């Protein structure tokens, strides 16, 4: 393996009479090195991306055994942690992420897997992929693992080879030369928040732990800020994560209750798409809670395609729109059921804020999430039928039966 500019005529090397071949990629203690790329670890990124893709396909291929896309998200997450994450983080301790293009190929694997896990489209909003599964963004996780390795290094005796190498690395950093510590500082600086790697003389285990927690908090805060400012994610704002026992509490990131408590795959997928904004704008014209007052043109463009009176929001279709008999029937049955569990107004026509309030309260209720998901799934089925045919599903069914009688 040759580094740097190649000579016009390559020299010949022999060992025991055998001519040695030149290679641009070599594997040493599990890490791939490449001499023909400006990043010596470029080949390692691509190799580990391929391994992660293979593991991800094996996990999703398990659907053939348990039913198409019916593997519970909790099991899928465990398999991801065991079989995919290990490849996405392999070697991160020695190669801080300084090349956005190489890091992106690892992020793409993580995003595609989580979208498949949640049943979302390929262009769905990225933020809920992390907040709803409890999986940290891969760039933050790789930096966290690298800092833990640094904590191990500074705890070694001064006579240890790794400790001596770290000291020399620190000299390079102080001389403003490229090195592992300066690369780590760059990777940290690319994360949300204003974080920098302190000088080696100031570092200890406690300070590194504090830096790791600060990075994780900034990452979570950044995800929450996206939720607070993204129209499609308005159902996720100001929510309290319900628990089987005890009070509901704010939780920015974690495996959500609806992913573990809804046994029916179709119902779970529908509620996930609704919360993650994957139904707007092709199913619902308007987001649940706009961040600003709509202009006249925006208001007209978002009017309900059934009643043509109010913005076509999810809560309007679920709890307000009186135009479709089939949906009104489902709504009446659902409200009647929920009154047995919690107080609900007897007025069948909710205002928009009231409808939004009850939609969120039904979804973020441990005991009501399963019937709520079924109700939402059935309503969206009927609504989709109306969008496809222009007719109420009950009317369409009646027409079909009349046609069959005539025949």
Examine residue 193 and state whether it is found in any structural domain, yes or no.
no
Average pLDDT over residues 42-47: 95
pLDDT band at 405 (very low <50, low <70, confident <90, very high): very low
Measured over the CA atoms of residue 237, residue 281, residue 265 and residue 81, the dihedral's sign is: negative
| Residue 406 confidence (pLDDT) above 60 | no
Peptide bond connecting 281 to the previous residue in cis, omega within 30 degrees of 0: yes
| Residue 24 confidence (pLDDT) above 70 | yes
Examine residue 278 and state whether it is found in any structural domain, yes or no.
yes
Would residue 29 be called left, alpha or beta, if left means φ above 0 and alpha means ψ between -120 and 50 degrees? Answer: left
Examine residue 215 and state whether it is found in any structural domain, yes or no.
no
Domain end among 102, 120, 135: 135
Which of 308, 301, 307, 270 is CA-nearest to residue 285? 301
Give the pLDDT confidence score for residue 294 in this predicted structure: 66
Instruction: Return the SS3 of 365.
Output: coil
Question: pLDDT tens-digit profile of 351-369?
Answer: 878 889 999 999 999 999 9
Examine residue 339 and state whether it is found in any structural domain, yes or no.
yes
Question: pLDDT tens-digit profile of 241-295?
Answer: 999 888 999 999 999 999 999 999 999 999 999 999 998 777 888 888 765 666 7
Examine residue 27 and state whether it is found in any structural domain, yes or no.
yes
Examine residue 191 and state whether it is found in any structural domain, yes or no.
no
Q: How many domains does the chain contain in total?
A: 2
Pairing of strands 18-19, 14-15: antiparallel
Give the pLDDT confidence score for residue 318 in this predicted structure: 93
Q: Mean pLDDT score of the chain, rounded to an integer?
A: 89
CA atoms of 364 and 341, how far apart (whole Å):
14
Domain end among 109, 135, 161: 135
Identify whether the C-beta of residue 197 lies closer than 8 Å to the C-beta of residue 185.
yes
Average pLDDT over residues 71-85: 94
14 forms beta bridges with: 19
Domain of residue 10: give its range.
1-135
- Output the pTM of the full model: 0.89
Least trusted range by pLDDT, from 26-35, 142-151, 191-200, 299-308: 299-308
Examine residue 140 and state whether it is found in any structural domain, yes or no.
no
Percent of the chain at pLDDT > 90 equals 67
Quickly count helices (H) and strands (E) in the chain.
18, 4
pLDDT band at 82 (very low <50, low <70, confident <90, very high): very high
Examine residue 198 and state whether it is found in any structural domain, yes or no.
no
Give the pLDDT confidence score for residue 404 in this predicted structure: 45
Least trusted range by pLDDT, from 62-76, 184-198, 284-298, 304-318: 284-298
Domain end among 102, 135, 168: 135
- DSSP alpha helix (H) spans, 32-99: 42-61, 63-66, 73-83, 85-88
Instruction: Return the SS3 of 379.
Output: helix
């Amino acid at each position: 393996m040759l580094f740097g500019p190649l000579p016009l005529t390559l020299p010949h090397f022999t060992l025991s009479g055998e001519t040695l071949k030149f290679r641009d990629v070599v594997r040493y203690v599990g890490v791939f090195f490449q001499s023909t790329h400006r990043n010596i670890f470029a080949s390692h990124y691509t190799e580990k991306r391929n391994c992660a893709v293979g593991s991800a396909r094996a996990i999703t291929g398990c659907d053939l055994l348990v039913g198409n896309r019916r593997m519970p998200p909790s099991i899928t997450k465990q398999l991801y942690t065991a079989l995919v994450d290990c490849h996405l983080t392999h070697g991160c301790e020695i190669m801080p992420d300084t090349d956005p293009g190489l890091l992106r190929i690892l992020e793409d694997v993580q995003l595609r897997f989580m979208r498949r896990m949640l049943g979302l489209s390929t262009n769905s909003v990225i933020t809920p992929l992390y907040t709803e599964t409890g999986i940290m963004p891969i760039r933050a996780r790789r930096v966290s693992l690298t800092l833990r390795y640094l904590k191990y290094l500074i705890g070694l005796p001064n006579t240890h080879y790794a400790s001596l190498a770290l000291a020399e690395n620190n000299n390079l950093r102080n001389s403003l030369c490229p090195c592992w510590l300066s690369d780590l500082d760059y990777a940290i600086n690319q994360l949300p928040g204003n974080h920098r790697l302190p000088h080696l003389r100031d570092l200890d285990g406690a300070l590194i732990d504090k830096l790791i927690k600060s990075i994780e908090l900034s990452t979570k805060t950044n995800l929450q800020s996206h939720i607070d400012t993204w129209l499609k994610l308005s159902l996720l704002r100001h929510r309290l994560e319900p628990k089987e026992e005890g009070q509901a509490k704010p939780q920015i990131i974690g495996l959500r209750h609806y992913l573990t408590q809804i046994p029916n795959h179709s119902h779970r997928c529908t509620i996930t798409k609704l919360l993650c904004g994957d139904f707007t704008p092709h199913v619902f014209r308007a987001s649940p809670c706009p961040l600003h007052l709509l202009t006249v043109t925006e208001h007209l463009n978002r009017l309900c395609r059934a009643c043509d009176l109010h913005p076509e929001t999810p809560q309007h279709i679920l709890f307000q729109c009186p135009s479709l008999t089939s949906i009104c029937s489902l709504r009446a049955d659902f409200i009647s059921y929920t009154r047995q569990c919690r107080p609900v107004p007897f007025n069948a026509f909710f205002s928009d804020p009231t409808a939004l309030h009850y939609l969120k309260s039904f979804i973020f209720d441990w005991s009501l999430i399963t019937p709520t998901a079924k109700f939402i799934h059935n309503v969206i089925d009927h609504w989709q039928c109306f969008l496809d045919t222009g007719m109420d599903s009950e009317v369409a069914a009646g027409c079909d039966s009349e046609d069959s009688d005539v025949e």
